[in-house]
C-alpha cells in the first residue's frame, strides 16, 4: 500500500499493527470480565444485607440487563475478530496445499493459476 510517493506500508508493518490491535482488544475484554465479576458480586444476595433489598434488586436488574446486552455485542465483535484473523491462515493453508502439487501449465511452472477457480 503506497500512501505517498516514497512512503510505503509493507505487510510486516501491517501485521505489527494488527498484533497490537488484538492485544488491546484482549486487554479490554479482560477489564470487561473484571467489571462483570464486580457486577455479579453487587447483584447477589450477599450484598443485600448492607444496602437493603429494594435498592439492589431494581438497580441490579437494570445493570444486569445492560451488561447482558453489552456482553452479547462484545461476543459478536470477538467472533468477527476471530473470523478476520483466521482468514489469512486458511488462505495460507490452501495456497500451501496447491503449491505443494505444482504442475506444468502451458510450459510455465505455475504455482497458482486463477483458471483453477
Task: Over range 95-102, report the average pLDDT.
Answer: 73
At residue 100, what are phi and psi to the nearest 5 degrees? -65, -30
Whether residue 97 is contained in a domain is answered as: no
Whether residue 107 is contained in a domain is answered as: no
Q: Does the structure show a pLDDT above 80 at 27?
A: yes
Whether residue 108 is contained in a domain is answered as: no
- What's the total number of domains in the chain? 1
Q: Spell out the residues 6+ positions from residue 56 whose beta carbon is closer than 8 angstroms to its own.
A: 42, 43, 47, 48
Whether residue 104 is contained in a domain is answered as: no
Query: Pick the residue with more confidence: 24 or 111?
Result: 24
Range of the domain at 42: 10-85
Reported as a pLDDT band with limits 50, 70 and 90, residue 1 is very low
Q: What is the pTM of this model?
A: 0.53
Q: Spell out the residues 6+ positions from residue 3 whose beta carbon is closer than 8 angstroms to its own.
A: 9
Whether residue 33 is contained in a domain is answered as: yes
Whether residue 44 is contained in a domain is answered as: yes
Query: Pick the residue with more confidence: 46 or 90?
Result: 90
88-94: long-range pairs with CB below 8 Å, 24+: none
DSSP 113: -
17-22: long-range pairs with CB below 8 Å, 24+: 18/85, 22/81, 22/85
Say what the alpha-carbon torsion angle 51, 55, 58, 61 is, to the nearest 10 degrees. Answer: -20
Q: Does the structure show a pLDDT above 60 at 3?
A: no
Amino acid at each position: 500500500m503506497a500512501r505517498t510517493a516514497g512512503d510505503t506500508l509493507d505487510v510486516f508493518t501491517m501485521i505489527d499493527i494488527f498484533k497490537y490491535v488484538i492485544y488491546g482488544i484482549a486487554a479490554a475484554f479482560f477489564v470487561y470480565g473484571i467489571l462483570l465479576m464486580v457486577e455479579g458480586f453487587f447483584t447477589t444476595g450477599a450484598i443485600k444485607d448492607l444496602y437493603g433489598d429494594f435498592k439492589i434488586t431494581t438497580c441490579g436488574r437494570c445493570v444486569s440487563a445492560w451488561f447482558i446486552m453489552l456482553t452479547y455485542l462484545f461476543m459478536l465483535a470477538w467472533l468477527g475478530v476471530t473470523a478476520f484473523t483466521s482468514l489469512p491462515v486458511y488462505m495460507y493453508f490452501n495456497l500451501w496445499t496447491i503449491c505443494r502439487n505444482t504442475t506444468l501449465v502451458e510450459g510455465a511452472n505455475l504455482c497458482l493459476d486463477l483458471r483453477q477457480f
